[in-house]
A = this chain, B = another copy of it.
Amino acid sequence: MATVTDAKLVFLLVALVAGTSCTAWDLSGLRMPTERAVQAAAERLVEGADAAAPLIHALRPLVGSAGDLGRRGGVPCDSWRLAVETYNKRDWRTVPAKCEKYVGNYMMGGHYRSDSRAVINEAIAYAESLKLGGNGKEVWVFDIDETSLSNLPYYATHGFGTTLYNSTSFNEYVLEGSAPVLPETQRLFNKLISLGIKPVFLTGRTENQRAITVANLRRQGYSGWMNLLLKPVGFKASAIAYKSGERKKLQDAGFVIVGNIGDQWSDILGAPEGARTFKLPDPLYYIG
């Protein structure tokens, strides 16, 4: 019999949660597993020494219920998120209600941040590898919302994407001009300027939000962008059509779009995409 004090048990729980690849907040996801799941986990632990054996389990057809995997039509929230990030899942309107806590944990813990960091590390390595023409024509396109600035303070109080988009309350939030910086993106932004590549903001925000957007960007430490392209009020087009059209204008004006980064696939699809594109994570909403 092992004797564990309350303090040690709490430490053990915190250590487990903080020490796995789960977010540090993932206590909400804890639940008692089914007897079968425990049995299966135990078998895998025992069989761990023989790497090929559990294959038989992993790849054989699923029959009946086997925990998350067996839920009729359902997938675990992290598989939903991967399907979103890889553009397998499209045209979704809200985060599944059952995934509110998962998405909240993901966004508020370290997971979102480290996923963003992995993207920015690649973007910086790519930027540093470029040979520039020396004529100052290279630009890099940045989306704003969930790319350069974060609306997480809004979404954290609006169900983490589980409720339908409300333009009234969201625009009120935008007009506060208080959206915090996404520090990883800012690291790329500043690196590009130091390399001589000019940042261009290209956003679905509308022209009448220019002043507050500039103020918000400046307050959060952004400076030195070449251009801030906002959508004309009342402009009707898909995000892909609007943004690729604006990139075409940049290209026609003699600029070379060496990079393009956004949180939505609609930021980075549609010719000219830019010589290389980067997709930041965003499990909160979808813009087609």
Contacts and interface: CB of A to CB of B under 8 A. Distances in A.
A41 B24 contact: yes
Name the interface size band of chain A. 35 or more
Interface stretch (A80-88, A135-143, A226-234, A239-247): A80-88
Interface string A152-177: 11001100000000000000000000
Main secondary structure of the interface of A (DSSP, over half): helix
Interface in A44-70: 44-45, 48, 51-52, 54-55, 58-62, 66-69
B59 A180 contact: yes
A266 interface: no
A189 interface: no
Contact of A1 (B3, B123, B183): B3
B82 A115 contact: yes
Given A14-B38, A87-B279, A52 B183 contact: no
A141 to B, nearest CB: 16
Identical copies in the complex: 2
B82 A85 contact: yes
A69 B110 contact: yes
Nearest to A221: B61
A86 B83 contact: no
Contacts of A32: 15, 19
Contact of A9 (B4, B19, B25, B108): B4
